Amino acid sequence: MSFRRPRMVRFLGLVMTLCAVGVAARVLRPATAKAALAISGPAADIVYATGSIELDNRIHLRARTAGTVKDLLVREGETVRAGAVLARLESPRVTAKATKTQSLVATAKSKVRRAGAGGSNTAAVRAEIAQAQAELASTRKLVEFGTLAPIEAERARLRLDVLNARLTSSLSSKGAASADAREAETQAEADSRAAEAEVADLEIRAPFDALVLESSAHVGDVIEGGYSAFTIARAGAYVVTLTVDEVAMGRVQARSGQTAGSPANVTVYALDRRVLTGEVIEVSPEVDRGNRTFRAKVRIEGDTRDLRSGMTAEANIVVRQHQATLVPSESVENNAVWVVTEPSSVLGAKVVRRAVAVGIRDLLQTEIATGLRPGEQVVVSATSSLREGTRVRIQ
């Protein structure tokens, strides 16, 4: 007689088996973790600083001579080209001096011409000398033939000597007169050029393409030489003056001759945090004892049309940069990373802790100097709960 197990007993056994499998699955299920690949890229040592935008090469244009302001040809805020006339002065003294020196030049040139015209007198003397020489030769022959007495040859020679002496005196007088005239002409021309330069100084011109920031002169003002009539700055050239922590002194380098300064990325708040590039061109030689900072000046490059003096900016000054192995900064803890091995295992990836040497580090990335190669995978989350050989499921 056969005995049949009740169906209820078989059903309970199946339920217990399934429960045991579920518990085992929960026990063996690996934890989840995020991972990232170590990459090769530029590691940059950055110095952060804040400051404000300023126009570069701000200078005061000064009057070079005294006079009355006759014309003002620009307004504040205008951009002018190099050589443009910003203002004209007038000065009766300067104008009269220029007119007088021009007249003196004309007079001196006339004297030079008259001195050169004295050559007709010397030509006549030369003709007489030629005639006297012929007569002396003829007289000497007649004396030899006995036709004339020797005294006649002596008289002819004395007459020739007198004419030669007259020619020498004439030439000396002419040379002296001509030299004096030419010297006077040279001096007059020099005086005229100096007077013309004074006339040119009555115009105040832009030395380069410039933005007129301020005009302190008005039509009708009587100003002295050296008076600051305009304040200008190089058009389109901006710098940002930064306040830098003293710990960066010696690391931030300014341009020197052909040696480039430290590069910088400048963020301008007022222009939707637009990022511009630049170069450090000046570093103050001293640290401010009050706030323990020093000043650095960065010349901004590229399109600066929207910039305005006084805007606030921040800068990341790159003091050192090189290719390196990089990982997310959150993956590094106590100079070690969790490296993912066996990523394709059905039981989950295995992780091992590896000590590394850390280089440059910021909030996002950290340089791994030694201990890790580009392409290896590291855990970037929940690292504190990991243990050597832990199995994880990579998300």
What pLDDT, in 10s, does the model give residues 68-117? 999 999 999 888 999 999 999 999 998 898 888 888 888 878 777 776 65
**Cα atoms in the Cβ-side hemisphere of radius 13 Å centred on 189:** 8
Domain ranges of the chain: 29-43+324-394, 47-57+236-320, 59-88+204-235, 92-201
Ranges 19-33, 69-83, 176-190, 335-349: which has the least confidence? 19-33
In the chain, % of residues over pLDDT 90: 37
Say whether 372 sits in a helix, a strand or coil.
Answer: coil
CA distance 86 to 36: 63
CA distance 228 to 4: 120
Whether the per-residue pLDDT at 167 is higher than 70: the answer is no
Whether the per-residue pLDDT at 23 is higher than 70: the answer is no
Fold classification of 47-57+236-320 is Elongation Factor Tu (Ef-tu); domain 3 (2.40.30)
Whether the per-residue pLDDT at 193 is higher than 60: the answer is yes
In the chain, % of residues over pLDDT 70: 84
**29-43+324-394 architecture in CATH?**
Beta Barrel (2.40)
**pLDDT value of position 389:** 73
**pLDDT value of position 21:** 41
CA distance 252 to 317: 8
CA of residue 1 relative to chain centroid, distance: 111
Dihedral sign from CA coordinates of 18, 19, 21, 26: positive
Q: What is the mean pLDDT of residues 305-326?
A: 90
Q: Residue 345's pLDDT band (boundaries 50, 70, 90)?
A: low
**pLDDT value of position 392:** 79
Cα angle: 181, vertex 187, 193; to 5 degrees: 135
DSSP of 184-224 = HHHHHHHHHHHHHHHHHTTEEE-SSSEEEEEE---TT-EE-
**pLDDT value of position 34:** 87
C-beta separation of 392 from 30 below 8 A = yes
Q: Residue 298's pLDDT band (boundaries 50, 70, 90)?
A: very high
Give the pTM: 0.51
Mean pLDDT of the chain: 82
The first and second tokens of residue 365, run together, are 């990335």
pLDDT digits (tens, 9 = 90+) for 217-231: 899 999 999 999 999
Residues 6+ apart with CB under 8 A from 46: 316, 317, 318, 319, 362
Ranges 33-42, 127-136, 355-364: which has the least confidence? 127-136
Dihedral sign from CA coordinates of 323, 325, 329, 333: negative
Fold classification of 59-88+204-235 is OB fold (Dihydrolipoamide Acetyltransferase, E2P) (2.40.50)
**Cα atoms in the Cβ-side hemisphere of radius 13 Å centred on 44:** 14
Whether the per-residue pLDDT at 27 is higher than 70: the answer is no
Place of tokens 């920031």: 213
Does the fold of domain 59-88+204-235 match that of domain 47-57+236-320? Answer: no
**pLDDT value of position 18:** 42
Please report how the helices 92-117 and 119-145 are oriented relative to each other, as an axis angle in degrees rounded to 10. 20
Q: Residue 42's pLDDT band (boundaries 50, 70, 90)?
A: confident
Spatial CA neighbour of 85 closest among 95, 73, 77: 73
Spatial CA neighbour of 313 closest among 233, 249, 261, 242: 242
**Cα atoms in the Cβ-side hemisphere of radius 13 Å centred on 370:** 1
